[in-house]
């Protein structure tokens, strides 16, 4: 379990700075499910929209908004399988056509990566046995 903290400015800076007095600042952040998030003085364990008001000594309080999302870590997947093709035939594997001829050395091993928007790419490895009907 990890703890992530929103570090903006010190409270003294927010309270006393004319630059931030009366301002609203919004943030979006995400953490892994099961982790915790320290937002100013509040420990967050759930997704949601949170708001904190920082009082200013001379008026013009500052507001900080946070939208917190959780994500589930993903797992890279690797799949390996074996198949056969007759010498002279072609084999479609993901986005590749594997053409075989008398110079093809069996087995042909091809790996492709399938990207995932979440960063957990999957890989597929094919071991393709090229069968020569005249010899096998």
Instruction: Say what the pTM is.
Output: 0.48
CA-wise closest residue to 35 among 23, 47, 52, 24: 47
Q: Is the dihedral of CA 80, 84, 87, 89 positive or negative?
A: negative
- Nearest Cα neighbor of 68 from 86, 92, 84, 52 is 52
Mean pLDDT of the chain: 81
Instruction: Say yes or no to pLDDT of 120 above 70.
Output: yes
CA 28 from centroid of its chain's CA atoms: 16
Q: Encode pLDDT of 12-29 as tens digits.
A: 444 445 555 678 888 888
| Higher pLDDT among residues 14 and 68, named by residue | 68
**Residue 41: pLDDT band with limits 50, 70, 90:** confident
Give the helix ranges, DSSP H, for the chain.
Answer: 11-16
């Amino acid at each position: 379990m990890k703890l992530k903290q929103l570090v903006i400015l010190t409270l003294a800076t927010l309270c006393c700075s004319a630059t931030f007095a009366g301002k609203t600042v919004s943030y979006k952040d995400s953490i892994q499910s099961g982790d915790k998030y320290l937002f100013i003085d509040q420990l967050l364990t759930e997704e949601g929209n949170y708001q904190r008001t920082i009082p200013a000594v001379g008026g013009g309080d500052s507001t900080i908004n946070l939208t917190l999302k959780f994500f589930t870590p993903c797992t890279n997947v690797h799949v390996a399988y074996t198949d056969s093709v007759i010498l002279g035939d072609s084999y479609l594997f993901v986005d590749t056509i594997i053409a075989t001829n008398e110079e093809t050395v069996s087995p042909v091993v091809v790996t492709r990566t399938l990207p995932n928007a979440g960063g957990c790419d999957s890989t597929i490895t094919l071991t393709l046995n090229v069968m020569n009907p005249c010899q096998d």
